[in-house]
Structure 1
């Protein structure tokens, strides 16, 4: 129900029309403890005020006791209908003293569990109810004005206490949500890291397998020795791909109780092996490695260079098989490292189209960005496709 019309409803209806999603949640043991405490507190306040009824007519005392007992019993409804309970007790407080305990509990509950607009809603009839009560039963020491002032101060203290409790709970909930979001973001980043590693490793292995299988498919005149060599390369590549897959699955199954079972990461020293594997698969690779102080290349930098070259060779095998590929790595500490993979964009003749996910370059751009570098790729006016990355190398 829209809140703009709730202000026009009678108090009895507001309690039944309060917004609450679905069925009310079951009380937890903590809820039961709090509710019992509130009920006992309301009963104790009622018993304390019972002595102030001395001197009043017997009929008034009996009516007060009945209203006080019913009001204390109604405290059990405060969790489900706090606004309705507070508004229902407001007119009773105009002439009854023993509803004061349950009334204070209801006001405090609204301040804790409802926004400020509901506090304003319940306080208007409560403050109005103070006027007839203060006129009928003024305190002998404070008089009419003092009775009203003390009651207002009690209300303000309760509301401030309730709003402070509500704010503290909201802060706790917000911090918990932020912690959950941070944990979820950490899990997402970890999944993305594993996905990048899986793509970088498996895509390279599988494109090599596809290249060997394509050679067997189109070379009908291949000798038995060539067929055996290609089959051996396929078997070896499949074994390596399965081993890489086991290592990635091991990372996914890691329970974080010990050190991460990270597979050995490649470095600059493994770059020549990568180029040699591509040559064995039939690619024409033209290396141009001019790195000053290669043995001193940091492990993280070398791993990124390896992944850039690996992705460039993989894309060349997918989209331009049979053409020469130039791999140039140049740089030194200070100026940084430049990695360039260049190949003709178009390839003549018939070849097997190797499907791709389209995420390799996206992941590579993320990897180089995390390393503080930049990545460029595209077809040049001379018809060559170029993948170029620059990576910082502190001196």
Structure 2
């Protein structure tokens, strides 16, 4: 592509040889301007400052096609000038130089001052301003993408660390609860084994060694359990588990406490009670309902909430739903929800939390009443954080803005060039000398000439040029105003 673009620019600069725009420049100047613009297209990515300044001489030659390609030079150079102040200074100098070189064309010197100024302003907007701003926006896209990707990666890592921390805390909490529950039972076994040891020593000596083995084994198991799980406890005083934890009475108490605090909440319990369920399941039910109601207090205190517990088929299904709220929800870390997902997953259950289609927020869990002794921990893994956003997504507004500005510059100029090319190709008729002599200033109408000879070669001064039938180096220049012939003269390219 490094060679293709300069070649295309060179070919575009040669178009006036086929479809000239009056006043027609000399063929040597046309070829020179084509070579010049091809060199600038090649130079723009390498020396953007010099490429911007060297566009000015092209405006001293009436080669609109080569001048149109300067838009791409300005665009490419503006993408690579990093300092905004330097870029705008270069663009200002370039605009002044282009205006000065434009005055070298005879058609601009014969124009009224206000027309020349208006043409300079319009040309600066389309040839300089729009391409420069478009290139500037897209040129700063790369460093902005790099910055946004770094920030996005940081936030994703922080989010992953937060989730990992919540999982670790929840596992440590569960380990502490297991320590307390098993420790209590192992202590009872050890006490009863000690009593059995004393009894067998007097009444059944043949069983004394087995009773002693039971006592020492239970004591050793208690010590090992404390050594393994005790170090994982983050809360030295975990919540106590009584006979009502997770049962209908317990959940009803949680709902009533929330209602007393001002939350409009109701309980819908279907199925049997959970007195016979595994203690881990009961605690999970308690924790899900309590955490969900706590979130309603924090983020939607004015919304109506509903707690649903369904016990059937050997599973307990819990759902806490709150409706939409007018208040602005607070910002949370989701640590509690991540902990619930970890707890439910360790029991072999399923957990979900998020806004439903109708609005509000829903927390749902499905846990077995009697989970396996060693639930698969992989079920509790929190979904991996999404990969960093693509560069195109991070800078879509910048790309759209730069693209729109580029189209604002490209479409009008491309349309004008296509129209001029069409006129030049469809109006090859040569005007003969007798007809030119018969034209009368102020009398001959514009339509009379156009009907017979077409539009001719339109010039930047608004006049039409016609090739002569007897001299290839002579042109007839006709200027019209208000539909009448204003002036006629002969000129050479």
TM band (smaller chain): 0.3 to 0.5
| TM-score for both structures, normalised by structure 2 | 0.34
Which has the bigger relative contact order, CA under 8 A and spacing at least 6?
Answer: 2
| TM-score for both structures, normalised by structure 1 | 0.41
Give the number of the structure whose alpha-carbon radius of gyration is greater. Answer: 2
